[in-house]
Amino acid sequence: ETGVTQTPRHLVMGMTNKKSLKCEQHLGHNAMYWYKQSAKKPLELMFVYNFKEQTENNSVPSRFSPECPNSSHLFLHLHTLQPEDSALYLCASSQDSAGKLFFGSGTQLSVL
Amino acid sequence: QKEVEQNSGPLSVPEGAIASLNCTYSDRGSQSFFWYRQYSGKSPELIMSIYSNGDKEDGRFTAQLNKASQYVSLLIRDSQPSDSATYLCAVKLTGGGNKLTFGTGTQLKVEL
């Protein structure tokens, strides 16, 4: 298994749908992150979990709901999204707060 | 002022030349700096980290840090077409915990 795996790779959803993104890391790291990447914008940090406890919520709308059942798994539950939420959603992990992030391959999300 | 600034490019260099990528940051107290490479359609991958003033070399890559002037740069010697990618500068801001703040990235094109 590669270090950080994300599923699905691509997702198209309507504004009334509910879907979930999944991330799993096999690196033994204790911190996991969700980032959003939109065209021409910097990577935006959404959520941080340390030892499965949420330590950062970067003013993310409630239509995005994270879940971290253990240090290896991270989910992002999506509901009633808007077209402007279309973006690449990246999961990452790191050991402690070293700042060295290992990214998954991302989920390209399109909201119609 | 943006917290981390990069010229979006594209920066075009001929094969074999030195590519110089620059990044400035606003938080004078920042201590940790990272360069990530992102190929088109792929996720970012860490290529360099630097914490002290001066140069840090790793193969064809050299990171340079000047905290007094608040800039960090990445030099790529003997540039190859495979180096064509977007290079993201990331800074761990003071009091940011696990949070990395990214620039928008500089697109590098190495031409034959």
pLDDT at A50 (0 to 100): 86
B interface with A, Cβ–Cβ below 8 Å: 4, 8, 32, 34, 36, 42-46, 49, 88, 90, 92, 97-105
d(CA A103, nearest CA chain B) in Å: 6
Instruction: Output the six-digit token pair for B92.
Output: 């761990």
Confidence of residue B97 (pLDDT cuts 50, 70, 90): low
DSSP for A56-91?
EE-S--TTEEEEEEETTEEEEEEES--GGG-EEEEE
Confidence of residue B57 (pLDDT cuts 50, 70, 90): very high
Confidence of residue B80 (pLDDT cuts 50, 70, 90): very high
Chain B environment of A41 (Cβ under 8 Å): 104
pLDDT at A104 (0 to 100): 96
Q: Which H helix or E strand runs over B5? A: strand B4-5
Confidence of residue B73 (pLDDT cuts 50, 70, 90): very high
Nearest by CB to A43, from B8, B97, B102: name it: B102
Confidence of residue A110 (pLDDT cuts 50, 70, 90): very high
| E strand intervals along B7-93 | 11-14, 19-25, 32-38, 45-50, 54-58, 61-66, 71-76, 85-92
Residues A61 and B62: their CA atoms lie apart, in Å, by: 39
What is the overall mean pLDDT for chain B? 93
Residues of chain A by 3-state class (helix, strand, coil), percent to 5 = 5, 55, 40
Confidence of residue B66 (pLDDT cuts 50, 70, 90): very high
Nearest by CB to B97, from A40, A42, A97: name it: A97
